[in-house]
Amino acid sequence: MKFKQIQTLEQIATLLNVEFVGDKDFPVKGINEIHVVEEGDIVFVDHPKYYNKALKSAATIVLINKRVECPKGKALLISEDPFRDFNKITKHFNPFIASQKSISESAIIGEGTVIQPNVFIGDNVVIGKGCIIHPNVTIYSNSIIGNNVTIHANTVLGADAFYYKNRPEGFDKLISGGKVVIEDNVDLGASCTIDKGVTGNTTIGKGTKIDNQVHIGHDTMIGKKCLIASQTGIAGCVIIEDEVTIWGQVGTNSGITIGKGAIILGQTGVTKSIEGGKTYFGTPISESREKLKEIAGIKRFLKEQKNK
C-alpha cells in the first residue's frame, strides 16, 4: 500500500508515538508485507525468528519490537507492538469509509458495461468496457476490473484477508488495505469470493476462467489463461503461473507457487510448490502417474494379504 504523499520517518514515528533510528527526514513511501516489500516500504516484524529476514529484505524501514543494529541505508521504528502499529498506519492512510449508495459516485464504469439490479459497487472502483456484472455481486472499494469481464451472481470481490494474531484475549485482525485486480477477459462464476490484499493486490490474470464457488485468498496472484473449477480453495500469498488448470475441490497451502501449465486433478491437496508442465493428484500431492502407481501397489498388496 503506497501513501498518496511520501512521509518522513519522523512523521510516522509521531503518528505511532514510537522511537526511531535513522535520519528524521528518511523517506517513507508505504507499507507492505515481507514477500512484496520494495524500497521505501515499512515492513513489520514481531518475532526474533524473522528479524534477520525483515532486516535484509527490500524494505528500507523496519517496524520492530526490539532495538537492534540498523542496517546501512535503512531506518527502524521501535514499537512495543508492531502488529498493532502496522494496523494503525493502515487505518490512518486508508480508513474505512461507509458507502452512501449502492453504486458509488466515484466509481468509473466503462462504455457498454451492463450492471444488473442489486449490484453493490464501492468507492473508487474502476470497471472497464463491455463487462457484465450480474445481480447481487458485491465489489468493495478500490477494486479494479478490466475490459470484457463477466461476473456472475453473488460473487464478492474485496473482502478482508483471513489474517489474525493470536492474543490471550482473542484473535487480533490484521487490517486489509490492498485491492483486488481483475484483468481483461476474465470470467468469474457464481458465488466466488476473492479477498483483497493485506497491503498489495490480489490479481486474476488476463483470460483466466473461474467456475462457481471458488475462494481465492489475499495477495494471491493468478496468471493468464488459467482454468479453475468449482469449489477450489486457494490460500493467501499463492502464485499460480500462466495456463494452469485446477479441477474441482482442490485446496492449497499458503505461500506456494504452482508452475506454468501444471494440471491439478480434482480433490488434490497442494501442500507444497510444484513444477509446471506436469499433472498432479492426491494428498500429499505427487505426479499423477506416480500416485496411481502407489494406489495400484497398495491394492496388489491388500489383495495378496487377503489371499494368504
Domain boundary among 58, 93, 128: 93
Please report the pLDDT score of residue 308 as a whole number. 73
Domain count, the chain: 2
* φ/ψ (deg, to 5) at 300: -65, -40
Please report the pLDDT score of residue 248 as a whole number. 97
Residues marked active site are found at 218
In angstroms, the CA 296 to CA 17 distance is: 64
Residue 155 lies in a domain: yes
Residue 300 lies in a domain: no
Residue 303 lies in a domain: no
Please report the pLDDT score of residue 92 as a whole number. 97
Render each residue's pLDDT in the chain as its tens digit; 308 residues: 999 999 999 999 999 999 999 999 999 999 998 888 999 999 999 999 999 999 999 999 999 999 999 999 999 999 999 999 999 999 999 999 999 999 999 999 999 999 999 999 999 999 999 999 999 999 999 999 999 999 999 999 999 999 999 999 999 999 999 999 999 999 999 999 999 999 999 999 999 999 999 999 999 999 999 999 999 999 999 999 999 999 999 999 999 999 999 999 999 999 999 999 999 999 989 998 888 888 888 888 888 888 87
In angstroms, the CA 15 to CA 75 distance is: 16
Residue 28 lies in a domain: yes
Please report the pLDDT score of residue 284 as a whole number. 87
In angstroms, the CA 65 to CA 134 distance is: 47
Closest CA to 173 of 91, 250, 111, 101: 91
Please report the pLDDT score of residue 300 as a whole number. 85
Handedness of CA 74, 80, 82, 88 (dihedral sign): negative
Same domain, 11 and 155: no
Same domain, 118 and 202: yes
Same domain, 67 and 133: no
In angstroms, the CA 70 to CA 68 distance is: 6
Same domain, 58 and 117: no
Please report the pLDDT score of residue 304 as a whole number. 80
Closest CA to 223 of 178, 186, 278, 189: 186
Provide the residue range defining the domain that includes 210.
108-289
**Location of C-alpha cell 502499529:** 85
Largest distance between two CA atoms of the chain: 81
Grid cell of 19 as nine digits: 522511537
42 to 18, 81, 179, 206, 238: CA distances (angstroms): 14, 14, 18, 30, 22
Closest CA to 175 of 167, 188, 164, 191: 164
Please report the pLDDT score of residue 245 as a whole number. 98
Please report the pLDDT score of residue 99 as a whole number. 92
Same domain, 253 and 119: yes
What is the Cα gyration radius of the chain? 22
User: What's the whole-model pTM score?
Assistant: 0.92
Same domain, 188 and 62: no
* φ/ψ (deg, to 5) at 5: -130, 140
In angstroms, the CA 151 to CA 132 distance is: 6
Same domain, 140 and 235: yes
In angstroms, the CA 251 to CA 215 distance is: 10
Residue 195 lies in a domain: yes
